[in-house]
Structure 1
Amino acid sequence: MLKTPNVPAAFFGIILGLVGLGGCWREASRIWNAPAAVGESVMAIAVAVWVLLVLLYAAKWMWRRAEAVREVEDPVQCCFVGLLPVSTMLISLVALPYSYPVAAALGIAGGAGQLAFAVYRTGQLWTGGRNPESTTPVLYLPTAGGNFVSAIVATAFDLPDLAALLFGAGLLSWFALESFLMHRLYVHAPLAPPLRPTLGIQLAPAVVGCSAYLSLTSGPPDLIAKGLLGYGLLQALIIARMLPWIMVQPFAVSYWAFTFGITSIAFDAMKFVERGMDGLAPPLAYATFAVANISIAIVTLGTACLFIRGRILPAPMSTIPT
């Protein structure tokens, strides 16, 4: 058997953070005349990492099929598989200014893959029997986060009716899952340390949903957009308060789970400025943009250190309590 690295699907979360930051810099070039080359450079890095991960993940299915199947069947890791089509859709947004056919092909492939995975995985979940201790915010990925990203991509390709349907699917899925996940966090056993970084995903639904809503609307941000961002900011403050508890788990690539939510907060605040909101919006945009850049820099440096030390791959799933 050819020896290939056992790259987990969760690594595609790196793409979400990088594209999120690149999107913030693209927005900064529009509202603050920031250098456009910075955003495009970040996007180019995201594309390169995505290509590498796609090749490694395909190799995993070819030469390490047992591990790949076990990942799909794992109660926690399975939902991360949905990051492959979601990241593909985000790469389509990267490509859109350069090649419509390439972007459209990626968007269609990612959107179809995301919908297929959401239906397949959610159908499994609805059969019941899930252990509360293995229930984490990764459950948002198939139906909430995935549909919000699909809505953003559909809007970018001038499909507003489809985008509205996808936004509704994501919004109501988020509402349904939110109370279920909050109940688990409030009343069941604490998350095992290796699972605690998944709380970073808790940042994403409100603010990615806000991005999707903004893509579907025009004019100054309305009450719904402000409310979604406000809830996302509340989640960020709660997560910040919990960082000492979360960081009992030493740094790992799993900490990229925070980055899509963090960059989406900044993107939304910057969109508020672009759409004419004054008062609180400009200082909030500056502050969250700075936090997004610092956060990505920290996790990138941490990931590079893990790679240099040969410790970038996580422990086998059998050693992680769920």
Structure 2
Amino acid sequence: MTVTQAGAAESAPAPRASSSAVPIALFSIPLGLAGLGGEWNAARQLLGASAVPAAVAYAAATLVWAAFTITYVVGAIRQRPGRLGVDLRHPLFGPLTAYVPVIALLLIAYYAAGLGAAARWLCYAAVAALAVNAAALVAHWLSAPLDQDALHPGYFLPVVAGPFIASIGLANVGDREPAIAVFGVGVYFWLLLGAVITGRLFFGSPLPQPFRPVLSILLSPPGTASLAWFAITGGHIDQLQGAIGAITLFTLLIQLFFLPDYLRLPFSSQHWVFTFPLAVLGNMAIRWAAGTDFAGWRAVAWTALGISTLSILAILAGTVRDTARWLRRT
């Protein structure tokens, strides 16, 4: 199935894989909430912001992630054994199965201080789950080559953004050397898969309109790489961080040319795809502003935080509104 074919079939607000009552794409909701918590946690550390917004965002992300994960797994098992493997091989939604361990890593990184010694064990368990998930996906891609048009930026999640987020988790539990090693895995697949996905976007068929939001995921590899390197270096801006920051800035400039297309899209759950890149950008802006310590850096950091937060809250408000309308109809 190509993305173009799927566009016609998946024009409903919540595109889904076939295994469960919870569409795997909806895991972008707890991912976005965890990202929101991450930028407010950065604001707490570097701007003296209240700890309440981060705590609320992470608590919401935890509850939604847990509910979705339980429902997804139970629904898959009830349909028939081995159904999760079918989802892994799905040409569009297979990479999104990495949402589960990736979000777990973000939550563990935040709650590490309160978890004590258990944090390290939980982090390594989540890293192992992500590694198995990513290895299974790559093995499938190698053994059953995909139609080029099935590729989309979501393929970055398990093997690029995933390792960078794993690096953040490992750095937060104090294991710097493993964090650097996992960071290297992310860089390797960023270079390898980035060329393939960019080639598909350049020379393949255009993404159908409902799938346009996935173009915002192009911000996730450099953004998560930057945050991972900040976690590894303790917030220091070195030459590698400068290079990653420049890549992120140029990718953001490209995204600005997509804004008219994004703004024309009717609101749907697909808009949650925007939330994690927005949160990553806000988080990066705070850390870069604090790290460079230029005159007026606090105003810049607060502005970036405000824009990102208001954008994510607008998407949340739209989702609550649509959910309320759906409940009234049923």
Q: Give the equivalent residue in structure 2 for 1:55.
A: 70
Letter in 2 for 1:48: L
Q: Number of aligned pairs? A: 308
> TM-score under structure 1 normalisation?
0.87
Q: Give the equivalent residue in structure 2 for 1:210.
A: 226
**Mapping of 1:148-227 within 5 angstroms?**
148-218=164-234, 220-227=236-243
* Post-superposition offset of 1:202: 0.9
Any stretches of 5+ residues in structure 2 without a counterpart?
Answer: 1-18
Q: Give the equivalent residue in structure 2 for 1:23.
A: 38
Letter in 1 for 2:268: A
Q: Does 1:80 align with 2:67?
A: no
Question: C-alpha distance in 2, partners of 1:97/1:283?
Answer: 29
* Post-superposition offset of 1:209: 0.2
Q: Give the equivalent residue in structure 2 for 1:131.
A: 147
* Post-superposition offset of 1:149: 0.6
Question: C-alpha distance in 2, partners of 1:128/1:186?
Answer: 23
Percent of aligned positions that are identical: 25
* Post-superposition offset of 1:119: 0.8
Q: Give the equivalent residue in structure 2 for 1:118.
A: 134
The alignment partner of 1:106 has SS state of helix
* Post-superposition offset of 1:250: 3.0
Report if aligned partners of 1:207, 1:261 keep a CA contact under 8 Å in 2. Answer: yes
* Post-superposition offset of 1:70: 4.5
Q: Does 1:42 align with 2:69?
A: no
Question: C-alpha distance in 2, partners of 1:73/1:176?
Answer: 20
* Post-superposition offset of 1:101: 4.3
Question: C-alpha distance in 2, partners of 1:138/1:245?
Answer: 19
Question: C-alpha distance in 2, partners of 1:141/1:181?
Answer: 12
Q: Give the equivalent residue in structure 1 for 2:120.
A: 104
Question: C-alpha distance in 2, partners of 1:304/1:5?
Answer: 22
Q: Does 1:269 align with 2:285?
A: yes
Report if aligned partners of 1:60, 1:68 keep a CA contact under 8 Å in 2. Answer: no
Q: Does 1:300 align with 2:316?
A: yes
Question: C-alpha distance in 2, partners of 1:106/1:253?
Answer: 30
Letter in 2 for 1:309: R
* Post-superposition offset of 1:190: 0.3
Question: C-alpha distance in 2, partners of 1:135/1:166?
Answer: 24
Any stretches of 5+ residues in structure 1 without a counterpart?
Answer: 312-322
Instruction: Evaluate the alpha carbon distance shift between residue 82 and residue 35 of structure 1 in structure 2; reply closer, same or farther with a 3 A threshold.
Output: same
Q: 1:233 aligns with which of 235, 242, 249?
A: 249
How large is the Cα RMSD of the aligned pairs? Answer: 2.3
Q: Which has the higher contact order (CA 8 A, sep 6+)?
A: 2
> TM-score under structure 2 normalisation?
0.85
